[in-house]
Structure 1
């Protein structure tokens, strides 16, 4: 290699720097191209085979060096179907070879790209800005898992999502240990309970087959009161119903003409000579209690002890007492001029149903338990209303336990003997700790029909400890969860990309359903992929085949920027220019030396 070798080497250097300049210009031109991967230039020396003492620097050649594994910045985007890969991997795509009747005909060759600006076209395909169609694996709507492993071109048609009937309702509630029903009276034991005797004959709403309970006596006790004696002493049976100050008489006297009404029977006060349903104003408390007991027919006599009167209902009817002189009645220990006691038991064999005639009675003796919209097999909605009624209380003594029944509304417009509410036919019994004993994890509503809509056999699922009975100052049912699994039919409205790399369809019925899983391909030789137009690549022998399952994560509503650094490219541009100029200087120098050589021959 001599002077002419130096000349040709410099020409090779110009060619290599020109090649580098071409790569730099391409990088700068694509600095704003989505997910573009810059091309760097590698220079390699070409050394001829010579003796050890005759080695020369040799020539140079330029080669492209890919940066496919270098990620660009991920930036947010406003389009829900735009996506970026954070980490390794490529989107698997295809490009149509032709179109038939406006529909793409794919060539079956998989390509790979990092360009994630995909949008739905008119045919339901996700196509990026370079015209590549996204591939993925469809999701099985039943299991929610990918239906296979081989990627295929994804197409989302504007089809309806079939309706799903309600099969399960997840329900968790707390029932107040003392329910404040409309009919409750804290002074009357058992008044907060559902009273079968209050319902129409033959329509006991307790659990189906519950034996008819015999009527039992109930009582109500007034507050302790004292007389007008000096010094004052607690009222006794001998205390008169009227009298002057300093006498053994109640603190506020009854007067002639006053009345006390017991279960509809009127007792009238007279000055003297009382007969029948009359009382002398000079009669005492024992006489009054005897009159009341004779009307109620109770087998347990009403009593007075320590100035406090206890009245008994008997078993014939609930006790209801009113008076025209509430002040004097309050002197007996019953404020407000009334005294009530609801007898226990009653009714017929449990039918597990509430009829229209008893609807108002049932509402007064039960508590709202929440509602949820359920769906039948065709997707028709219906309002599933639940109510709870306490049917027994441990406070009533031995043989009793805190027990509740759950009801659902069958017909909100029921009249007469039409069924308005249906008992779930399960007794929910609670221990003193407020937990179910035994536990009830779920209840099936067999052949449930609500407002004419058949729901089949939905399961009310309480889970573990889902129903409790803890004290609640509000005395109501606290619904902690009520959620069902049905939905009506819906049409595909839009698609988006989730953080777990799935295409999610939003339907007009409000459902969000996973439609497909995006396939992310990786390669052992990422930088040996063959570059083609539109920021896409093809696999080569050097890159190896595509591998799935170990790629980076999908970031929705985002795009990856070009990995070209303008500042870096400008720096390389300066270096390349200087190197090119230096090679031209070598050529100039070589040319001068050649001229000198030629001049020797003259």
Structure 2
């Protein structure tokens, strides 16, 4: 039995080493495949009978069990300009889906119900607006309300960006911060003295740019008037309203040169000066032909030097003059951020997030089943996918404009190949030796 047992053991050795060479060839072939995870050989002894106590052992053999190195990080390579490519540094996978047909009504793809996962993050936008990787898998993510930024984590959906226009936003707030010169006088050296207008563009509800002019007039020591002219509006002029500096607010003396009081007049409604640091602003209503548009002109706060002030000088010094409206925008670019946010930049300067890519975690990622296209599916041994945000609960972090390379080390594979080749040859030699021994046994009877 020992000779035939040796032959059987050698056969299992040949099978195991040939399988190992197959794994190595697969790894080497995919050394340049984005996101590929290598397969390793794990040899296990097969025992038929073995006892140290009775000093017996029968040849058994060997079994080559595949070990899937799905949890081993590959190197990350930056891809400049590839704003929709993303890699994972650390644990986890990107959820994706696979198309299985086309909807006859919409002309858009339909998708399998099976959930797939991958580390291949070289996504590009196709002609339907979907983000698809080089293996043909569609990116899945949580939808995000672009207006509020709220993430809906109750489900994932295919990432499709078809919002090519960004609606205009009417101006509601104008921030104004300047120093009014306390020494200014008119050409005759008298008061009142009117300064050149401060002008800014705001936007109406249709996205049209409209001019707003602020005209300041020094009335006397620590007192000014403000008139607001808006040529495109009905009415087109507001004020003049009185603006006071220094003195007291709510029983407290304010710093000289800071706002202490606003007086409503001519359609300009002043905020109350109840206490130091209360908001100091005028509100008024414009109408550019598409309905009333409420505007708040924020001058800073009472008794605070960070807003509008009155200090020495002969000319107005403008520190800040901006508004919160935007015109209509058109699609400019699409990008995946380092936090997994899928955002669109419009040419009006708005950046809106439409999706948040989660990371799929598994109890044992080495037990995932592999499918074509360098993707994986969950198994009972791997556990179900748990979707979390990047960096949370042990999940990895996204790296934007990057891809993860194969985790195959060519030098290591070649060293394994040498060992497998020698081991195969040695097992083959055992086969020929056992054959010769059997032949000698048969020749005994001659």
1:24 corresponds to? 24
Q: Distance in 2 between the 1:419 and 1:51 partners?
A: 104
What SS is found at the alignment partner of 1:61? strand
- Alpha carbons 1:377, 1:455 under 8 Å: kept: no
Q: Using the TM superposition, give the Cα deviation of residue 426 of structure 1 relative to its aligned residue in structure 2, in angstroms.
A: 5.1
Q: Distance in 1 between the 2:366 and 2:359 partners?
A: 16
- Alpha carbons 2:281, 2:300 under 8 Å: kept: no
Match of 2:131 among 98, 104, 126: 126
Where structure 2 has 5 or more consecutive residues not aligned to the other structure, the ranges are 247-253, 261-272
Query: 1:145-544 alignment to 2 at 5 Å?
Result: 145-179=150-184, 183=186, 188=189, 191=190, 193=191, 195=192, 365-369=194-198, 371-393=199-221, 402-411=222-231, 421-423=237-239, 425=241, 427-430=243-246, 431=254, 433-437=256-260, 439=276, 441-449=279-287, 456-464=293-301, 465=304, 466-469=306-309, 471=311, 473=313, 475-544=314-383
Give the TM-score taking structure 1 as reference length. 0.64
2:57 corresponds to? 55
1:292 corresponds to? none
What SS is found at the alignment partner of 2:223? strand
- Alpha carbons 1:424, 1:443 under 8 Å: kept: no
- 1:565 aligns to 2:409 (yes or no): yes
2:13 corresponds to? 13
The structure-2 alpha-carbon separation of the partners of 1:149 and 1:17, relative to structure 1 and needing over 3 Å to count, comes to same
2:111 corresponds to? 106
The structure-2 alpha-carbon separation of the partners of 1:107 and 1:426, relative to structure 1 and needing over 3 Å to count, comes to farther
What SS is found at the alignment partner of 1:458? strand
1:288-337 Cα offsets, whole Å, 9 max, x none, are xxxxxxxxxxxxxxxxxxxxxxxxxxxxxxxxxxxxxxxxxxxxxxxxxx
Q: Distance in 1 between the 2:255 and 2:182 partners?
A: 10
- Alpha carbons 1:130, 1:534 under 8 Å: kept: yes
What SS is found at the alignment partner of 1:534? coil
4+ aligned runs moved over 4 Å, structure 1: 418-421, 452-455
Query: 1:64-103 alignment to 2 at 5 Å?
Result: 64-77=66-79, 78-101=81-104, 102-103=107-108
Q: Using the TM superposition, give the Cα deviation of residue 435 of structure 1 relative to its aligned residue in structure 2, in angstroms.
A: 2.5
What SS is found at the alignment partner of 1:378? coil
1:576 corresponds to? 420
The structure-2 alpha-carbon separation of the partners of 1:591 and 1:547, relative to structure 1 and needing over 3 Å to count, comes to same
Q: Which stretch has the larger CA shift, 538-547 or 500-509?
A: 500-509
The structure-2 alpha-carbon separation of the partners of 1:405 and 1:584, relative to structure 1 and needing over 3 Å to count, comes to farther
Q: Using the TM superposition, give the Cα deviation of residue 95 of structure 1 relative to its aligned residue in structure 2, in angstroms.
A: 0.2
The structure-2 alpha-carbon separation of the partners of 1:462 and 1:68, relative to structure 1 and needing over 3 Å to count, comes to farther
Give the TM-score taking structure 2 as reference length. 0.85
What SS is found at the alignment partner of 1:12? helix
- Alpha carbons 1:444, 1:457 under 8 Å: kept: no
What SS is found at the alignment partner of 1:55? strand
- Alpha carbons 2:141, 2:158 under 8 Å: kept: yes
The structure-2 alpha-carbon separation of the partners of 1:366 and 1:66, relative to structure 1 and needing over 3 Å to count, comes to same
Q: Distance in 2 between the 1:158 and 1:28 partners?
A: 43
1:37 corresponds to? 37
Q: Using the TM superposition, give the Cα deviation of residue 178 of structure 1 relative to its aligned residue in structure 2, in angstroms.
A: 2.7
Q: Distance in 1 between the 2:312 and 2:56 partners?
A: 102
The structure-2 alpha-carbon separation of the partners of 1:67 and 1:483, relative to structure 1 and needing over 3 Å to count, comes to farther
What SS is found at the alignment partner of 1:548? strand
CA RMSD of aligned residues (A): 2.5
What SS is found at the alignment partner of 2:284? coil
The structure-2 alpha-carbon separation of the partners of 1:18 and 1:445, relative to structure 1 and needing over 3 Å to count, comes to same
1:318-373 Cα offsets, whole Å, 9 max, x none, are xxxxxxxxxxxxxxxxxxxxxxxxxxxxxxxxxxxxxxxxxxxxxx612444x432
The structure-2 alpha-carbon separation of the partners of 1:522 and 1:477, relative to structure 1 and needing over 3 Å to count, comes to farther
2:264 corresponds to? none
1:546 corresponds to? 385
Q: Distance in 1 between the 2:91 and 2:181 partners?
A: 57
2:435 corresponds to? 591
1:517-542 Cα offsets, whole Å, 9 max, x none, are 11221111111111111110001111
Q: Using the TM superposition, give the Cα deviation of residue 460 of structure 1 relative to its aligned residue in structure 2, in angstroms.
A: 2.2
- Alpha carbons 2:235, 2:287 under 8 Å: kept: no
1:381-415 Cα offsets, whole Å, 9 max, x none, are 1122333333321xxxxxxxx12333322229x9x
The structure-2 alpha-carbon separation of the partners of 1:472 and 1:54, relative to structure 1 and needing over 3 Å to count, comes to farther
The structure-2 alpha-carbon separation of the partners of 1:524 and 1:426, relative to structure 1 and needing over 3 Å to count, comes to farther
Q: Using the TM superposition, give the Cα deviation of residue 495 of structure 1 relative to its aligned residue in structure 2, in angstroms.
A: 1.1
Q: Using the TM superposition, give the Cα deviation of residue 9 of structure 1 relative to its aligned residue in structure 2, in angstroms.
A: 0.6
Count of equivalent residues:
411
The structure-2 alpha-carbon separation of the partners of 1:598 and 1:470, relative to structure 1 and needing over 3 Å to count, comes to farther
- Alpha carbons 2:83, 2:336 under 8 Å: kept: yes
What SS is found at the alignment partner of 1:447? strand
